[in-house]
Structure 1
Amino acid sequence: MNVQIFVPCFIDQLYPAVAFNMVKVLEKAGCTVQYNGNQTCCGQPAFNAGFHNEAKDVCSKFLKDFEGAEYIVAPSASCVGFVRNYYQQLFNNSSVHNEVRQLADRTYELSEFLIKVVGIDDIGAILEGKATYHDSCAGLREVGIKKEPRQLLSKVKGLELVEMNDVETCCGFGGTFAVKFEPISIAMGDQKITNAGNTEAEYLISTDMSCLMHLDGCSKYKGSKLKLMHLADVLANGW
């Protein structure tokens, strides 16, 4: 199975280990992984900021970079949700409308790709301790992911998964929302860290580094000892 990976811009710049671990996991699952070094961004930051014409230019490049890819896999439900749900809006009634629809069908977040396409839920990962999982808004509402990451985590040897209160509530990041509405964003992040801490978990895991980046800041401010980990980092651990 040939897979083209998409590495979101902030992971490329700030958390490259997540991308390397995604490759490690995909190869362990039997996939042949390819990386197009010309790739940049999916266009979501510009779109969310209201710069739709500029976003369309970035999205056009994404279309060209991943033309012909059998599967496109990303360690970000946020980026996958944007490609699936907003590219069709940007390119509606255009010459690439059908190409965009096909692109949406070939683009997957890591956990749903492993469960739904590859059909594997045990990578052989090991992580001792108790963890709780954060449903990102994009993962839950735009991509429809809920059971997939939990199924993968349930097979991690030594890991006990516990659910926090209000698990489906937003963490408060929301991209530019965290900048435009900082007090609200901080309060939401603080509540999420409180709920995660109340489970007595050692680890807070999610599919989105954007959420984890925000929550890590909130956690450190509160003096919490929670360790925040991307799902790919967990799945690549212990082997």
Structure 2
Amino acid sequence: MSSLRVALFPTCVNDAVHPATAIATVTVLERLGVEVDFPFEQTCCGQPQYNTGYRRETEPLLRRMAKAFDGYDHVVAPSGSCVAMVRDNYPRLGSRAAAEGRADDLADQARSLADRVHEFSEFLVDVLGVTDVGAYFPHTVTYHPSCHGLRVLGLGDRPRRLLEAVEGLELVELPGADECCGFGGTFAVKNPHVSAAMGADKIRNAEATGARVLCGADNSCLMHLDGMLRRRGSDLRPLHLAEILASTRTEPLR
């Protein structure tokens, strides 16, 4: 991997609200011998605009992202949601722009970037070929698969395999794991009561496992659930997969 150029795409939520996750991602990759760059030209991938119906307004962000990550062999992001935006929706934007005769080059830019972007767990398992990253986390954990990772990217058991290889970690099954937590980006804003009800179901199931930590691979979902857990006064702690994998015996996660 030392000869390959790898870039970090931390995403807006991690950059602004959960920087520890981005740091943990780099920590794990560097532990495995991967040199990671951070292109400062990157911005939001445009998912909020795209999901709200502002498709054409998302195109400049696609161009900026494609330019920022041009020349990298792999782009790694600790968010299935944002990776799904790049891999699934960028090509749609490019194809539509070409079909409308506005920007023939946008489709090429979209495809080029989409082919090189990986969600964190699939990069570890599929590209690096590892599940044991040398982590130590002596706690009981239950795992919530987010919708984009589960349904769009098809991450399958990759996150679970990584967790199962962590020394000291006890992984317990989450009832109704494949059910949405209710966040859904703008869905939570437009449908707050439904969103809160779905989140309450997810939290009840997670608390019933007796786990100390609720793990996920998308901090947008974990942020939604964390707010509800705090209001309940729950002892259950949401934590991103990367932060668990970054924890070791010499540097335990606090």
7, 23, 32: which one aligns with 2:35: 32
Moved more, 83-92 or 48-57: 48-57
Is the Cα contact below 8 Å between 2:79 and 2:218 reproduced in 1?
A: yes
Is the Cα contact below 8 Å between 2:213 and 2:237 reproduced in 1?
A: yes
Is the Cα contact below 8 Å between 1:29 and 1:120 reproduced in 2?
A: no
Aligned to 1:43: 46
Q: How many residues align?
A: 239
CA distance in 1, matches of 2:139, 2:39: 37
Specify the SS of the correspondent of 2:139: strand
123, 142, 152: which one aligns with 1:113: 123
Which letter does structure 2 place at the counterpart of 1:24? T
Aligned to 2:6: 3
CA distance in 2, matches of 1:66, 1:173: 29
Specify the SS of the correspondent of 1:215: helix
Which letter does structure 1 place at the counterpart of 2:14? I
- Structure 2 residue 98 is the aligned partner of structure 1 residue 89: no
Gaps of 5+ in 1: none
Q: CA deviation at 1:96?
A: 3.2
Aligned to 1:165: 175
Structure 1 runs of 4+ aligned residues shifted over 2 Å read none
Q: CA deviation at 1:98?
A: 3.0
Which letter does structure 2 place at the counterpart of 1:36? P
Specify the SS of the correspondent of 1:30: coil
Specify the SS of the correspondent of 1:121: coil
182, 187, 201: which one aligns with 2:197: 187
CA distance in 2, matches of 1:101, 1:144: 19
Specify the SS of the correspondent of 1:73: strand
Specify the SS of the correspondent of 1:228: strand
Aligned to 2:55: 52
Which letter does structure 2 place at the counterpart of 1:9? C
Specify the SS of the correspondent of 1:127: coil
CA distance in 2, matches of 1:124, 1:67: 31
Which letter does structure 2 place at the counterpart of 1:113? F
Q: CA deviation at 1:99?
A: 3.3
Specify the SS of the correspondent of 1:91: helix
Aligned to 1:99: 109
CA distance in 1, matches of 2:38, 2:16: 16
TM-score (norm 1): 0.97
1:173-212 pair list within 5 angstroms: 173-212=183-222
Q: Deviations over 1:62-90 (max 9, x none)?
A: 11111111000001000000100000111
1:118-157 pair list within 5 angstroms: 118-157=128-167
Q: CA deviation at 1:53?
A: 1.7
